[in-house]
Amino acid sequence: MSESAGRTVPTLEFDDIQGTLLRRRPDDYHGVYLLYRIDDAGAARQSLRGILPKITSCADWESPRPFTLNIAFTYSGLERLGVPAESLASFSAEFREGMAARKNVLGDTGANDPSNWVPPLGSRDVHIGVLILSEEAGALQEPRTAAGRLGGVSLVYQLDVGVPRSGREHFGFRDGIGGPHIRGSTSPPLPGHDEIWPGEFILGYQDESGKLPDAPVPDALGRNGAYLAFRQFHSDVAAFRRYLRDHAKSPEDEELIAAKMIGRWRSGAPLALSPDRDDPDLAVDPMRNNDFLYYDDDPHGQRVPHGAHIRRVNPRDSLKDSVVAVNTHRLLRRGAAYGSVLPDGVLEDDGAERGIIFIFLGASLFRQFEFIQQVWLNDGDFVGLGTEKDPLTGNHDGTDTYTIPGKPVRRRLTGLPRFVTVRGGEYFYLPGLRAIGWIASLP
Ligand code: HEM
């Protein structure tokens, strides 16, 4: 334990917390996400005991390892496995309902409506999720075999993920730069990564308010767990390229508009620190590339528009005059790209399925993932932008606008099409390792 901000920083139980919760994936990664339905609860529980030694915890994370394997359960999965009624009732309401049932909160309408999701996503047939990542494609076989030994289950969905050769997500942006830093999680924070109390993300520890987050009972099930939102986004890369071409004055202007939508140049360099031109050195310098605030340096959004993706999802100090405590609406991101790359310069869709699987982790789906999605991404009211949505990820229908403040004149982009379509998703619970043992030993 150590002291920070007058409070004691707890010792996190690294050997019990699943690795993906606290540790980022490698920059160069290959992986597979496997979703299972439970057909025979007894056989499934029995086999969970067998897979336990293969599950990666946070302990000793920096040592080389051939792969990481993490495992999570949906509410219907926990029900199927025989978790007692009292425990089931102690999970949060939104987790019990499941992601599809939360479509009104999440704004999943039109093309994003769960009725259009890829089966079995959003059905009650997804029970266990296994997340496998490795720096070596060849090292995936061992954990796949381990997952294949899960008994009493059927594989109902599988998605290969991996970093595109460019090292960037499909729209061409470098991703995975922003924080936060969790107090007590070994390495010191990088500049600009806010230090957040662990209970915002891990159950069983104090959160920003100094309280323990609501957690499922008994403690054996709740301690060191987290909620996980799994969401598959299809990226219409050709539509994005065409939109930039049709609305920009020049190729340089295309890059500027793209940067204004996200708040970073595609290289990852933040507009907040390099507003007029890309800066590839800044982009890859972890001591500088996240070290910025908005309130004093960019109050009117002249550098980073108020509606830009990164300013919406983490307004930093922008909202300090309002009652919103930004740090109670943070989340941990563990996304991974899937699908083939649309070759450079191609402006017509090739019909291929590509995009990002997002994994958001935290202590409260409602206060973190759902709040960000509903209040900050799908609306503009909180920054005086009316009904404007996030320019890249918004559920657009061809009529939406995007305001880019600027000198001498602001720009307003019109007719935004849908660049990102939700293919489906699920809410999971990512238990600690002892909790998985507890589930495995249920009668
Ligand atoms: C296909 C959909 C999405 C794409 C392509 C995308 C892309 C990006 C990119 C390029 C960045 C900047 C790099 C970085 O700071 O790491 C970023 C940052 C971020 N995104 Fe997204 N994103 C998507 C959806 C979402 C959603 C749905 C959420 C939340 C519900 C979200 C939350 C965040 C957060 C919290 C940051 C870090 C912001 C900061 O701390 O400054 N993203 N995203």
The model's pLDDT over 217-263, given as tens digits with 9 standing for 90+, comes to: 999 999 999 999 999 999 999 999 999 999 999 999 999 999 999 99
For all residues of the chain together, what is the average pLDDT? Answer: 95
The model's pLDDT over 165-206, given as tens digits with 9 standing for 90+, comes to: 888 999 999 998 998 999 999 788 999 999 999 999 999 999
Do the Cβ atoms of 211 and 23 come closer than 8 Å? no
Q: How far is the CA of 296 from the centre of ligand 1 (A)?
A: 23
- The closest-lying atom of ligand 1 relative to the alpha carbon of residue 233 is 1
Please tell me which residue, 324 or 319, carries the higher pLDDT value: 319
Which residue type is seen at 354?
Answer: R
Q: Is the CB of 173 under 6 A from ligand 1?
A: yes
Q: Is the CB of 176 under 6 A from ligand 1?
A: yes
Closest by CA position to 232, among listed 441, 440, 33 = 33
Which of 24-28, 283-287, 332-336 is predicted least confidently? 24-28
CB within 8 Å of 143: residues ≥ 6 apart: 54, 67, 69, 132, 134
Q: Which residues pair with 166 in a beta bridge?
A: none
- Substitution candidate for ligand 1 out of 99, 174, 175 with most atoms within 8 A of CB: 175
Mean pLDDT of 74-87: 98
Do the Cβ atoms of 162 and 133 come closer than 8 Å? no
Closest by CA position to 75, among listed 224, 198, 221, 185 = 221
Q: Is the CB of 372 under 6 A from ligand 1?
A: yes
The model's pLDDT over 411-438, given as tens digits with 9 standing for 90+, comes to: 999 999 999 999 999 999 999 999 999 9
Q: Is the CB of 35 under 6 A from ligand 1?
A: no
DSSP string, 29-51: -EEEEEEEEES-HHHHHHHHHHH
Q: Is the dihedral of CA 190, 195, 198, 200 positive or negative?
A: negative
Given a cut of 70, is residue 9 above it in pLDDT?
Answer: yes
Do the Cβ atoms of 71 and 130 come closer than 8 Å? yes
Q: What is the reported pLDDT for 3?
A: 67
The whole-model pTM stands at: 0.96
Question: What is the C-alpha to C-alpha distance for residues 19 and 430, in angstroms, rounded to an integer?
Answer: 10
Given a cut of 90, is residue 64 above it in pLDDT?
Answer: no
Do the Cβ atoms of 425 and 121 come closer than 8 Å? yes
Q: How many CA atoms lie within 13 A of 7 on its CB side?
A: 17
Q: How far is the CA of 341 from the centre of ligand 1 (A)?
A: 19
The model's pLDDT over 378-400, given as tens digits with 9 standing for 90+, comes to: 999 999 999 999 999 999 999 99
Q: How far is the CA of 309 from the centre of ligand 1 (A)?
A: 7
Alpha carbon distance, N-terminus to C-terminus of the chain:
37
Do the Cβ atoms of 390 and 189 come closer than 8 Å? no
pLDDT range class, residue 1, cuts 50, 70, 90:
low
Mean pLDDT of 53-58: 94
DSSP H helices, 248-321, are: 251-262, 280-283, 309-313
For the chain, the domains span 2-233+426-440, 236-329+375-420
